[in-house]
A and B are shown apart, each in its own frame.
Chain A
Amino acid sequence: EDQVTQSPEALRLQEGESSSLNCSYTVSGLRGLFWYRQDPGKGPEFLFTLYSAGEEKEKERLKATLTKKESFLHITAPKPEDSATYLCAVQGGGKLIFGQGTELSVKP
């Protein structure tokens, strides 16, 4: 059964304090791993798609990496505006399987 587990559930950082979010997955035939950002009361905002182990993508202070079993979302020198819930999802067949998300809070 396809499964996605994110850790930690919640993460509190001081502004400028870099950290990483983890997404562990099991899927038969990975067709893509996705990272989304979701603000309260809003729909998920697409961040990255990763397709194969070793792949990395960057966007501003965010960098996503992928291995055969997990993905990391690295946040470098975060700012308060990076506070949100970060969702990881995998696609094996035609649909996305989401993790529970990591709620990130960055304090000034």
Chain B
Amino acid sequence: GAVVSQHPSWVICKSGTSVKIECRSLDFQATTMFWYRQFPKQSLMLMATSNEGSKATYEQGVEKDKFLINHASLTLSTLTVTSAHPEDSSFYICSARESSSYNEQFFGPGTRLTVL
């Protein structure tokens, strides 16, 4: 149980284009989903917290107009990187928290974004 999927697993795009990443909780309902970014040899950095049906809460320094988050259902959240630039290249990981469990987060496999 507690499986989270992400799609795509990797994506390469040209500078200036937009990229959408999907995060799904496959066998549980997630009222809260989180989006992280991880650079090589570094730990996970929280970008935003997404609650189903409401606007995402962004961490300090994360541009909400650049990283658009939608959490329209209890099993799906999307992250859209708008007008991507090479410095946006990173490993993006989502996590989901079960509605019945306040604490435990389960992570997706991650999406490797490369912007040329």
Could you tell me which A residues sit within 8 Å of B by CB distance?
A: 31-32, 34, 36, 41-46, 49, 87, 91, 94-96, 98-101
Cα distance A98–B38 in the bound complex, in angstroms = 11
Contact of B44 among A31, A42, A98 (CB under 8 A): A98
Among B43, B107, B110, the one with the most A-chain Cβ atoms within 10 Å of its Cβ is: B43
Cα distance A98–B34 in the bound complex, in angstroms = 13
Residue ID in chain A nearest B40 by CB atoms: A40
List the 6 closest A-B pairs by CB distance, nearest first: A43-B107, A32-B103, A43-B110, A98-B43, A44-B107, A43-B109
Q: Is B90 an interface residue (CB 8 A)?
A: no
CB distance from B32 to the nearest CB of A (A): 8
Residue ID in chain B nearest A91 by CB atoms: B103
Could you tell me which B residues sit within 8 Å of A by CB distance?
A: 2, 4, 6, 32, 34, 42-44, 46, 49, 91, 93, 95, 102-110, 112
CB distance from B24 to the nearest CB of A (A): 13
List of A residues within 8 angstroms of B46 by Cβ: 95-96
List of B residues within 8 angstroms of A87 by Cβ: 43-44
List of A residues within 8 angstroms of B32 by Cβ: 94
List of B residues within 8 angstroms of A45 by Cβ: 107
CB distance from B40 to the nearest CB of A (A): 10
Residue ID in chain B nearest A6 by CB atoms: B43
CB distance from A3 to the nearest CB of B (A): 12
Cα distance A91–B102 in the bound complex, in angstroms = 10
List of B residues within 8 angstroms of A101 by Cβ: 43
Contact of A42 among B102, B105, B110 (CB under 8 A): B110
Residue ID in chain A nearest B44 by CB atoms: A98
Given contacts A43-B93, A46-B2, contact A96 B105 (CB under 8 A): yes
Residue ID in chain A nearest B48 by CB atoms: A95
Cα distance A87–B105 in the bound complex, in angstroms = 13
Given contacts A95-B34, A95-B49, contact A44 B44 (CB under 8 A): yes
List of A residues within 8 angstroms of B49 by Cβ: 94-95
